[in-house]
Amino acid sequence: MKGESAIKSRQGRGTSPLPDVRGYFGEFGGRFVSETLMSALLDLDRSFKKAWRESAFRKEFREILADYSGRPTPLYFARSLTQEMGGAAIWLKREDLNHTGAHKITNAVGQALLARRMGKTRLIAETGAGQHGVATATVAARFGFDCRVYMGSEDIRRQALNVFRMKLLGSEVCPVDLGGKTLKDAISEALRDWSRTVQTTHYLLGTAFGPHPFPLMVRTFQSVIGQEARRQMLSREGRLPDALVACVGGGSNAIGLFHPFIDDPSVRMYGIEAGGRSISPGDHAARFAGGSIGVLQGTRTYVLQNPDGQIENTHSVSAGLDYSAVGPELSYFRDSGRISFDWVGDDEALEAFQTLSRTEGIIPALESSHAVAYGLRLARTMSRDRLIIINLSGRGDKDVVEVSRLLEQKEGTS
Ligand SMILES: *Cc1c(COP(=O)(O)O)cnc(C)c1O
């Protein structure tokens, strides 16, 4: 891969690569922050682009992913599942086999390397369920950074095990008691910390979201998923897949898988949001089904908000998809028609969680179960000679207690 040109999106011949220099993907993205943060973001943008042009930086990134995280992750043919569905061949990109159990470590390694290069000594991060907090605490331990993770006090209560993990790894977990005491409030608090401490501190944002250059940078790091999948599918089947499916929280595992295929018109792409209990306000996190364009936490994108611009509450059985906005690049490709979006509700995701466990001996994260559920729907409508890749973004060990509680509850009511 070659420097600058490899960073940017190729939108087909004759059009400019995205994002533009101010971080816009068409009308989405940008950099809506205070003046203090603006200079930190400009600095980060310059440092990232310079680092990524250097083959030594990319080489170190690749080597750490190999030795420490276990990349490349396998592309696995799910034979039993394919037989049971009776349609397209289902392949799973095994991001669940990464160190710490999900794709998030890849972005954390990339940003930690960059922060070290920039001479920062401290990392801060936001976390909802705790997965990104654990990934950040992990790289902080590995590279020797001080680390503080902001987490809503409501989430701290619900995710005690991940809180313990972060502390064990040597990080400080800072409760946020503002607003709804969840992810959105943790991001606001992390941005506030950063504006006081930019000299020493890097804000390690966990998804392809927020002000420029975060969406570009996170997508660039996570594109290793799609680059590997492309190579693996070509070597196994001698051709490109017909469809890609990924779940969408902020959008990093989805854009990471999709981006290297953006210019392959035969490859269809499906981003799957959390449909929760129903598509009515407060019951879901399907931004493209129930949202409208607005500015939230530094970026212009689709947001779940009421007509006055108040952010709506969200709900999903999976904490990692439970957020009121979505990455700006996905908003752009949604409006351009390149990527299709749909949603899967709590019940269907729970069913897919069990189906994959039973047929393949793989327990998926509840987030990934949304992609699995949609992939199964899709496979049944496609002929046997077609190929689907489902991004298995994470493993489900973290979810088994919650799933067993939900299934017991269901049995009680049926
Ligand atoms: C955090 C998380 C997600 C959602 O984040 P994206 O940035 O949209 O990928 C999906 N799956 C797992 C396993 C996660 O931990």
Question: pLDDT for 261-296, tens place per residue?
Answer: 999 999 999 999 999 999 999 999 999 999 999 999
Q: In this structure, which residue's CA is closest to atom 14 in ligand 1? A: 320
Q: Return d(Cα 351, Cα 250) in angstroms, integer.
A: 23
Looking at domain 23-66+104-219, its CATH class is: alpha beta
The pLDDT of residue 15 is 55
- Fold match flag (23-66+104-219 vs 72-101+222-413): yes
Per-residue pLDDT band at 14 (split at 50, 70, 90): very low
- The amino acid that residue 104 corresponds to is K
Instruction: Please write the tens of the pLDDT for every residue from 197-210.
Output: 999 999 999 999 99
**Residue 327 Cα, ligand 1 centroid: separation in angstroms?**
12
Give whole-number Cα distances, 228 to 111, 216, 331, in Å.
20, 19, 24
Q: CA geometry: angle at 48 spanning 174 and 103, to 5°?
A: 55
Closest residue by Cα to residue 319 from 210, 179, 183: 183
Non-local (6+) Cβ contacts of 284 within 8 A are 273, 274, 275, 276, 277, 278, 290, 314, 315, 316, 343, 345
**Residue 366 Cα, ligand 1 centroid: separation in angstroms?**
10
Ligand 1 binding pocket includes 325 (Cβ within 6 Å): no
3-state helix/strand/coil string of 186-246? HHHHHHHHHHHHCCCEEECCCCCCCCCCHHHHHHHHHCHHHHHHHHHHHHHHCCCCCEEEE
Given a cut of 70, whether residue 391 has pLDDT beyond it is yes
Per-residue pLDDT band at 4 (split at 50, 70, 90): very low
Q: In this structure, which residue's CA is closest to atom 2 in ligand 1? A: 320
**Residue 318 Cα, ligand 1 centroid: separation in angstroms?**
9
Given a cut of 90, whether residue 158 has pLDDT beyond it is no
The pLDDT of residue 414 is 67
Q: Which atom of ligand 1 is nearest to the CA of 248?
A: 8
Classify 361 in phi/psi space as left (phi over 0), alpha (psi -120 to 50) or beta: left
Phi, psi angle pair for 316, to nearest 5°: -155, 150
Q: Which residues are known to be catalytic?
A: 104, 126, 393
The pLDDT of residue 5 is 46
Structural tokens at position 25: 């993907």
**Please, are residues 391 and 226 in contact by the beta-carbon 8 Å criterion?**
no
pTM: 0.96
The pLDDT of residue 40 is 96
Q: pLDDT exceeding 70 applies to what percent of the chain?
A: 96
Q: pLDDT exceeding 90 applies to what percent of the chain?
A: 92
How many C-beta neighbours within 10 Å does residue 99 have?
17
Ligand 1 binding pocket includes 251 (Cβ within 6 Å): yes
Q: What is the mean pLDDT of residues 93-113?
A: 98
Q: What is the mean pLDDT of residues 134-144?
A: 98
Ligand 1 binding pocket includes 247 (Cβ within 6 Å): yes
**Please, are residues 152 and 127 in contact by the beta-carbon 8 Å criterion?**
no
Q: Return d(Cα 285, Cα 280) in angstroms, integer.
A: 10
Given a cut of 50, whether residue 20 has pLDDT beyond it is yes
- Note the CATH number of domain 72-101+222-413: 3.40.50.1100
Phi, psi angle pair for 246, to nearest 5°: -145, 150
Sign of CA dihedral 169, 172, 315, 220: negative
Sign of CA dihedral 254, 329, 127, 136: positive
Per-residue pLDDT band at 7 (split at 50, 70, 90): low
3-state helix/strand/coil string of the chain? CCHHHHHCECCCCCCCCECCCCCEECCEECCCCCHHHHHHHHHHHHHHHHHHHCHHHHHHHHHHHHHHHCCCCCEEECHHHHHHHCCCEEEEEEHHHCHHHECHHHHHHHHHHHHHHCCCCEEEEEECCCHHHHHHHHHHHHHCCEEEEEEEHHHHHHCHHHHHHHHHCCCEEEEECCCCCCHHHHHHHHHHHHHHHCCCEEECCCCCCCCCCHHHHHHHHHCHHHHHHHHHHHHHHCCCCCEEEEECCCCHHHHHHHHHHCCCCCCEEEEEEEEECCCCCCCCECHHHHCEEEEECCEEEEECECCCCCECCCCCCCHHHCCCECCHHHHHHHHHCCCEEEEEEHHHHHHHHHHHHHHHCCCECHHHHHHHHHHHHHHHHCCCCCEEEEEECEECHHHHHHHHHHHHHHHHHC
Given a cut of 70, whether residue 13 has pLDDT beyond it is no
Instruction: Please write the tens of the pLDDT for every residue from 51-76.
Output: 999 999 999 999 999 999 999 999 99
Ligand 1 binding pocket includes 210 (Cβ within 6 Å): no
Q: In this structure, which residue's CA is closest to atom 4 in ligand 1? A: 249
Domain ranges of the chain: 23-66+104-219, 72-101+222-413
The pLDDT of residue 180 is 84
* Least confident interval from 228-242, 311-325, 348-362: 311-325
Per-residue pLDDT band at 3 (split at 50, 70, 90): very low
The pLDDT of residue 411 is 87
